[in-house]
Amino acid sequence: MKWKILFILLLFIFVTYKEWSFAQDGLIPVTIIRVPRPNIVVAETCCSTGNSQVRIKLAGIKPPLSQAITVKKLQDRLRELIKRPGLSFGFALG
């Protein structure tokens, strides 16, 4: 019984340490260029091979067609993000 508890504890520490140490490795620095729709931004990535434009769909944001005020607020917030030079987005491919 002690070995099971010790094994689970060591496994938990190992997995948690790996998450903490490699949490920022997958982030890509981007500069937001424009916001064509409330849930999509066009950004420019800065890589060693050169700059390229990408479209990023923001997860969890659905453009409400009937709520124009919400769309306007969201676009204003994204325009504020355009002024920041180096944002980092973490996103999953899928």
Backbone angles phi and psi of 58, in degrees to 5: -80, 125
Closest CA relative to residue 38, chosen from 10, 60, 11: 60
pLDDT tens by residue, 32-50: 777 777 677 788 777 666 7
Residue 5 clears pLDDT 80, i.e. is over it: yes
Contact 42, 36 (CB under 8 A): yes
pLDDT tens by residue, 61-81: 666 565 667 667 776 776 676
- Whether pTM exceeds 0.75: no
Contact 94, 57 (CB under 8 A): no
Distance CA 40, CA 61 (A): 9
Tell me how far CA of residue 1 lies from CA of 4, 6, 15, 21, 47, in angstroms. Answer: 5, 9, 21, 31, 51
